[in-house]
Homo-oligomer: A and B are copies of this chain.
């Protein structure tokens, strides 16, 4: 299957060559992010797309000085909602009613159920739940890039508080959770590019109950 071939081709690029990724390919990656399924359809995250070189230079020191931060074409930051609020929940439910053109009792009951439970939970619990939804989109972005022959570096190793500060995320009720440099691998400089992909055996990964 073509998708599997592409997932085999991909790896976490440790060096990129600075080449720009075509806008059409970036648009497809954004579309894949947008199409990602999320819990109750809330899409509880935003994505910051950085091409500004000065800003990338500022982010590199708080990301273990990884060269992909500055040598990538587009740096994506996935920032999840810091908590669930009635406003945020209502906005998505209202949008659904608008797009579908009708109100539905079951759907409205479901809205009330979320309104009576999510906002009352601890903000940290809510952020964690929202972050997981961001990871679903993050993963689809990686697949969509690979499918187009574009490299990515899934990247958790950064100071999230410092990044939030640099990007002014907290004021917007957001917290960074994961980054994705997008670009093209530098095969000369990358120590990882020629090493074998390592995965645990299927026996250690999967248990079948027939």
Contact = CB atoms under 8 A, between A and B. Distances in A.
A3 B144 contact: yes
Interface string A177-210: 0000000000000000001111110101111111
A100 B96 CA distance: 50
Given A3-B147, A147-B1, A209-B50, A30 B202 contact: yes
Given A136-B139, A142-B37, A209-B55, A148 B1 contact: yes
Interface in A18-35: 28, 30-35
Nearest to A11: B37
Contacts of A210: 51-52
Interface stretch (A38-46, A65-73, A115-123): A38-46
A96 B198 CA distance: 6
Nearest to A51: B210
Interface string A50-68: 1110010000000000000
A95 B209 contact: no
Contacts of A200: 34, 43, 92, 95
Contacts of A205: 30, 33-34, 43, 46-47
Interface of A: 1-4, 7-8, 10, 12, 28, 30-37, 39, 41, 43, 46-52, 55, 92, 95-96, 99-100, 128, 131-132, 135-140, 142-144, 147-148, 154, 156, 195-200, 202, 204-210
